[in-house]
Amino acid sequence: MKNVIVERVIHDGESRVALRFPYDTELISVVKGFQGARWSNKMKCWHIADSADAITLLLKAFCKKAYIDYSGLKPNLAERIRTRWIEQQEKNIRTSDIIPAALGEKGEADIAKFRRWMESHRYPETTVKTYTGMVTTFLRFISPKEASECTSDDLVRLVDEYILPSGLSYSYQNQMVSAVKKFYGKMYRSVIDPGEFTRPRPQHRLPNVLSKEEVKRILDSLVNEKHRVMLSLIYACGLRRSELIELVSGDLERDRKLLRIRQSKGFKDRVVPLSEKVIQMIDLYITHYKPERYLFEGQYPGSRYSASSLDKVFKESYKRAGLKGGVTLHGLRHSYATHLLESGTEFRSY
């Protein structure tokens, strides 16, 4: 029987349920039967609304057509969503009642204008999608009011009546404030001073890091050469996930033993040192895989390796290494800095 892998993803600032399966016209036809089903070129998968009854609907729709693997939807999270749904039903505050389904004509025009402004100022594609998605949610929430009719109190209402009751995270709330501030700062500054929007109280958490032995166990667990080189480079150079998947072969300066990171966070370039061993590992990988455009390419030649796939590679290697705890892929980058400090490296020298 055919398999459909189900997992929760964030798409354009919105929680969605991704459906992953090899190209199959019969399965695609089933997916298209879901209201609001969309194809994502970036994630290379179909995705549907993240509703409380998503699993039930999937099992019913794909009955006798495919096996639904929904282990990616953590049971405890799914139960919390189910419980929250019941509570909202009891209080008559369903999300669909709080957030109207679509924007008005003026709202669509505002979003299009905001997107063009961000693109013209060379904001990263991920930032454009996240910010426009957040502002879309905000404008849908305040409907039928228009953006020009809002006050800072409307953002407070969004937090109190939608973000908190829906159990959305601190980071989601913080991103929402950032997006709305940017929108009003550039599109409607004469209406609201963006300084009136306040952020949630900052969280100060120590990053979870790995020991050198744990890093070795993770890398040793990888049998796929591409996966091993990707995670090795994140650790050896302290790279962010987005920095790794944007690399091209020309970013390697072999003679100077440097790796150039282009237009990273804050639109800044930087260089990081490369050891001879890492250079040899990369060159051997290039010989075997022959990437056409990006150093690490996805399923199709010339396409960028997806961020979600990279996260999955780390999670699986972390599990195979027999490790437990809440360390994420970003923790591998933090581990690089921690180990440099432990070895007595002065960061001010970089």
- The mean pLDDT of the chain is 80
Domain that holds residue 337: 212-349
User: Is 205 domain-assigned?
Assistant: no
Q: What is the CATH number of the domain that holds 162?
A: 1.10.150.130
What is the structure's pLDDT at 329?
A: 82
Write down which residue in 91, 122, 142 finishes a domain: 91
Q: What Cα–Cα distance (Å) separates residue 227 from each residue in 58, 224, 328? A: 31, 5, 16
Is residue 74 pLDDT above 60, yes or no? no
Residue 344 or 5, more confident: 5
Number of domains in the chain: 3
Q: Are residues 75 and 100 in the same domain?
A: no
Query: Tokens standing for 270?
Result: 């930087």
- 172-222, pLDDT tens digit by residue? 888 898 899 899 988 887 776 666 666 666 555 555 677 888 888 888 888
Characterize the bridge pairing of strands 66-69 and 2-11: parallel
Q: Are residues 155 and 240 in the same domain?
A: no
Q: What Cα–Cα distance (Å) separates residue 244 from each residue in 121, 231, 241, 315? A: 23, 9, 5, 17
Q: What share of the chain is helix, strand, coil (3-state, %, to 5)?
A: 50, 10, 35
3-state secondary structure of 311: helix
Q: Are residues 192 and 281 in the same domain?
A: no
Residue 228 or 85, more confident: 228
User: Is 234 domain-assigned?
Assistant: yes
The C-alpha atoms of residue 238 and residue 218 are separated, in whole angstroms, by 16
Q: What is the CA radius of gyration of the chain?
A: 22
Q: Read off φ and ψ for residue 263, nearest 5 degrees.
A: 45, 55
Q: What letter would DSSP give residue 142?
A: H
Q: Are residues 307 and 292 in the same domain?
A: yes
Q: Are residues 143 and 101 in the same domain?
A: yes
What is the structure's pLDDT at 283?
A: 93
What is the structure's pLDDT at 284?
A: 93
Write down which residue in 142, 168, 196 finishes a domain: 196
What is the structure's pLDDT at 205?
A: 54
- Residues β-bridged to residue 7: 18
User: Is 58 domain-assigned?
Assistant: yes
What is the structure's pLDDT at 228?
A: 92
Query: Tokens standing for 227?
Result: 């996966």
Write down which residue in 48, 72, 91 finishes a domain: 91
- 10-65, pLDDT tens digit by residue? 887 788 889 999 999 999 999 999 988 999 988 889 999 888 778 888 888 888 78
